[in-house]
Amino acid sequence: MKIAVVILNWNGEALLERFLPSITEYSHGAEIYVVDNNSTDGSVDFLKQNYPTVGIVQNSSNGGFAKGYNDGLKHIEADVFCLLNSDVEVTPNWLEPIKDAFKSIPEASIIQPKILDLTQKDHFEYAGAAGGFIDMFGYPFCRGRIFQTIEKDEGQYNDIQEVFWATGACMFVKSDVFHQLEGFDEDYFAHQEEIDLCWRAKNAGHKIYYVGHSSVYHLGGSTLSNMNPKKTFLNFRNSLYSITKNLPSKKALPLVFARLLLDAVAALRFVAQFKFDHCFAILRAHLSFYANFIKMYKKREKANFILKYYITTSIVWSYFVHQVENFNILVKD
């Protein structure tokens, strides 16, 4: 099995200097590439001078996460792509459990490892934790992370588990599946494009797994922090994109209307917290979504649809009303 570890970079010379050592040391048997999104900070020169064995693919523009990977992966040949954020520290033998899982679970097309917090290594990290799910309304959450509540890693997710989505912070995807799905949707630019990719993979009959015997540490927030209004905008808009694209119209359209009401409540909550920039970000997200609705709706023409895509009706209700902050308690309920 030929694995290519592919790191997307944009003006991240400092991150490459910090995190490439663990990747080159512990990724035995894999080829390592950096896809550069037209950086202007000396990233490419740094790589050429210090890591001559690392392949470099130079994109002509900064097309964000989605277009950046789509363009870069066209120039890389491998059986499996590992899409790895530039702010991830890997661990010894991190690749072996992933390889074993692909071999023992032939139906697995996408896999993610355990994502731990680099700054608090005994806790899960926001972006992916122990595998992702969504509720009926398309709001994402993880085993080990519900909204801003992060669980401590006490071995409760040291397993192999089918999940709904794998994080783009560290995602292993079979190259033929990635190309079959035509890569990420570039209209997302960044954030939740991996959820859409996994949803489309599910609709096409593929399966996504979490493998808890492999761990990486993610710094997180190196591009946009969790509380950046731009990230709020992208997350809310792109979530609506995914609902529209990946569900039959008789389900998608009512959910879009329901999301209008639920997202309005979220906006009012931001107002109560004096986070007015986030309130306006949600408004802009909806305006952008409605402006692009027809375009997104047309994309669903290629899709088959799975109807059981969620494990709880409303993660918002469970978390904010019933104060469920632990994934295992959520699924028991």
Please state, in angstroms and as integers, the Cα–Cα distance from residue 274 to each residue in 277, 282, 316, following that order.
9, 14, 20
- Counting runs of H as helices and runs of E as strands, what totals does the chain give? 12, 14
| Tokens of residue 179, six digits | 């190309």
* Mean pLDDT computed over 206-226: 86
| Phi/psi at 254 (5° precision) | -60, -35
Considering the chain, what percentage of its residues have pLDDT values greater than 70? 97
**Residue 271, both tokens:** 């107002």
**Opening angle at CA 254, ends 250 and 259, nearest 5:** 145
| pLDDT score at 239 | 97
As beta bridge partners, residue 33 has 6, 55
CB 115 within 8 A of CB 170: yes
Name residue, tokens 């694209």: 245
Tokens describing residue 235: 């997350």
Which of these, 57, 77, 157, lies nearest to 116 by C-alpha position? 157
Q: What is the pLDDT of residues 26-47, one digit of tens each?
A: 999 999 999 999 999 999 999 9
Rounded alpha-carbon distances, angstroms, from residue 52 to 48, 69, 85, 212, 327: 5, 21, 20, 32, 44
- What is the reported pLDDT for 176? 98
Q: What was the pLDDT predicted at 295?
A: 96
Report pLDDT for 172: 99
What pLDDT digit, counting tens, does each position of 93-126 carry? 999 999 999 999 999 999 999 999 999 999 999 9
Distance CA 31, CA 241 (A): 34
| Local confidence band at 332 (pLDDT 50, 70, 90 cut-offs) | confident
> Which domains, from first to last, does the chain contain?
3-218 (3.90.550.10), 229-332 (no CATH)
Question: What are the φ and ψ backbone dihedral angles of 50, each rounded to 5 degrees?
Answer: -110, -20
Q: What is the pLDDT of residues 188-213, one digit of tens each?
A: 998 999 999 999 999 999 999 999 99
Looking at residue 302, what is its pLDDT? Answer: 67
In this prediction, residue 300 carries a pLDDT of 83
For 136, other C-beta atoms within 10 Å of its C-beta total 16
